[in-house]
Every structure is written in structure tokens, then in C-alpha cells.
Amino acid sequence: MARYLILLGPPGVGKGTQARRLASALGIPHVSSGDLFRANVDGATELGRVAKDYLDRGLLVPDDVTIGMIDERLARPDCAGGALLDGFPRTVAQAQALDDLLARRGAAIDLVADLRARPEVLVPRLSGRRTCKASGHIYHEAYNPPARPGVCDVDGSPLIQRDDDRPETVERRIRVYLEQTAPLEALYRARRLLFEVDGEQPVEAVTDSLLREIRRRTAA
């Protein structure tokens, strides 16, 4: 049976870090709206041209553009058995659209993991984040440093700092989350799909908490 799981939580809480660990443990693909937008920006596609301005300003890309991109991604064969959604949905309209597009496939959301951390934890996590474009691996200068500074452990590529991790953009992204995405917590809680995980624990402990709850709640 297909499994569709959502990772909800503010910028910097660890969605991308955990999604990479969970996807391999659960055997479903990691679908990140942010990664898809960044790949389109790097590839200079029309979608990337539209999205870039919103990403740079820390604002949400319009719903119709985002929903179309995710619909297309979920239609690919690797998502036939489910997907781990990271960064989507982010508005009530996107949540409604996700229900509709999964219903068309005879599926539904199984679970929503709500990763939580205080804003004072999020800001230093984002300012110290470094990523490898080639492997997608995520590091932190202090909390999860690479073996050699500035170089990816996986493939030796140079690490970069995301443009939207500048302090003024980080603050706006957290505000946008609280205004536009946090209302989804109540929506999914009312549907008894949501469980909370403390995102301030060390990375391994967060993974353990997530896997324990997912396995318990999706056991047949």
C-alpha cells in the first residue's frame, strides 16, 4: 500500500536532514518543494525564473505554480508507492490540492510529522548551514561539520551557503511560516493525522523518534 507522509515544521527545524534519513529507511522517495525549485533555478527553466524572485525574498511561490510542480513530481513512477513530502503543503490551498491530487490516484495522506523548535534555535541553524549542490548533503559549520571545512564528505564538491539563509531573509521565512503554514497544524490535528516531534534533540534522536512513531502509527 502506498504511503504518503508529510514533514511539517519551520525553516531550519531539520526537515531536509531528517527526510534524507527517513526516505532510505522507509523506502519511499524524498520530495522536497524547495529542492525542486532550486533545481529549476539552477537549470534556468521558466519555472525557476518565476520562483527565484520569491525564494530570494523568503516569500512563498504562488500556489498554482507550486501545486503544478508537485502534481508533476508525484506522477513519476518512483512515487507510485508513496512519498515523503518536505516543504509541501505550506498553505491551506496547497493542503486542499494535495488531498485532491492524491484522491485522483486513489490515495490519501497517511501521517503528518510536525517537527518543532524555538525560533532562537532555528536562526543559528540556518546561518551555519552549508550544503552540497551535487549530493544534496546538508552540513552545519558547528553542529554537523564536514571532515574538511568547505568540502562535501560524500563527493568532495565545494559546499555553499543558500542565498535565502541571509539573516534578514531567515527572519522573513520564519514569519511567513507562522502566518501561512502553521495553520496547517490545527487542520491535520483535527483530522488525527498529526504527531509532534521535538526537533531540538540531536539529529539521531529526532530520526529515532520519527521512525518509532511512523512505524507504530502505520502498522497494519
Residue among 117 and 193 whose Cβ is closer to ligand AP5? 117
Provide φ and ψ at 91, rounded to 5°: -140, 165
Q: Is 175 a catalytic residue?
A: no
Residue among 197 and 219 whose Cβ is closer to ligand AP5? 197
Beta bridge partners of 80: none
Amino acid letter, 205 = A
Distance of closest approach, residue 143 Cβ to ligand AP5, in angstroms: 4
Which one from 38, 73, 90, 125 is the annotated catalytic residue? 90
Q: What CA–CA distance (Å, rounded) separates 138 from 170? A: 17
Q: Is 133 a catalytic residue?
A: no
Residue with smallest beta-carbon separation from ligand AP5: 34
Catalog residues that contact ligand AP5 under the rule CB under 6 A: 9, 11-17, 33-34, 37, 54-55, 58-61, 66, 87-88, 90, 94, 125-126, 128-129, 138-140, 143-144, 164, 173, 202-203, 206
Q: What CA–CA distance (Å, rounded) separates 175 from 118? A: 13
User: Which residue matches cell numbers 511561490?
Assistant: 61
SS3 32: strand
Catalytic residues: 15, 90, 129, 162, 173
